[in-house]
């Protein structure tokens, strides 16, 4: 069944007063995996920041997980972000606390209060990423691949409809990159979560082919519509 999670129509993406991308149009469905590719400086990050509410959308229309980005303001942004997960290249984990406390921090920050439910949710997401026994490890005790899995677990905490992943394999060796890609594709398939993944890694793309959005010359080209 066609179930759009992200819809962008005739959108102009700005960084301050500078037009970065014009007339952007694409739709991402539930459970779909989409690569976001393009050279550095062509607008990938600006597009992702617009989708998670860091940059305002003032021209065109877009909805993410049911939220209209044209109506977004600082009061609504936290509610938008509870419907999505964001995975970073540099993990952005809190290094002064263990894995469980990293995840507990996010849940409390997004409104969870009951300790039993918090503990159950943490156990659930660690199980999903294959790290159920690592909850009491400090972040610095984990390998790069394990830290990226914790980052993905964190993104799953609020059962997101969409995950935005920014270069999640950028700092990982090929074998670990394979493990992360298999995990991300399984999340799409098993939980119906849409994933938009920005990457420069065409070795990963060739091993795990999927639809591509390409930023180039101020436009976004969709491989589902035309060659990119």
The Cα 221–Cα 178 span in angstroms is 26
Tens digit of each residue's pLDDT (9 = 90 or more) over 137-183: 999 999 989 998 999 999 999 889 999 998 888 888 899 899 999 99
Among 98-107, 147-156, 166-175, 207-216, which stretch is predicted with the lowest mean pLDDT?
166-175
Predicted structure pTM score: 0.91
Percentage of the chain lying above the pLDDT 90 cut: 73
């Amino acid at each position: 069944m066609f179930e759009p999670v992200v819809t962008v129509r005739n959108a102009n993406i700005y960084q301050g007063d500078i037009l970065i991308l014009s007339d952007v149009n694409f739709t991402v469905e539930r459970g779909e995996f989409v690569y976001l590719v393009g050279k550095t400086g062509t607008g990938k990050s600006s597009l992702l920041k617009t989708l998670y509410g860091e940059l305002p959308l003032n021209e065109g229309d877009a909805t993410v997980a049911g939220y209209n980005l044209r109506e977004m303001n600082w009061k609504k942004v936290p509610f938008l972000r509870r419907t999505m997960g964001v995975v970073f290249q540099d993990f952005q984990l809190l290094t002064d606390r263990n894995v469980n406390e990293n995840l507990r921090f996010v849940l409390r920050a997004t409104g969870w209060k009951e300790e039993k439910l918090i503990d159950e949710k943490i156990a659930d997401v660690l199980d999903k990423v294959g790290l159920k026994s690592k909850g009491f490890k400090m972040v610095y005790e984990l390998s790069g691949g394990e830290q990226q899995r914790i980052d993905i677990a964190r993104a799953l905490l609020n059962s997101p409809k969409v995950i935005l992943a920014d270069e999640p394999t950028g700092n990982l060796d090929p074998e670990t990159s394979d493990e992360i890609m298999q995990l991300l594709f399984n999340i799409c398939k098993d939980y119906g979560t849409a994933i938009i993944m920005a990457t420069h890694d065409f070795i990963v793309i060739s091993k795990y082919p999927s639809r591509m959005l390409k930023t180039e010359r101020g436009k976004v080209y969709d491989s589902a519509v035309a060659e990119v």
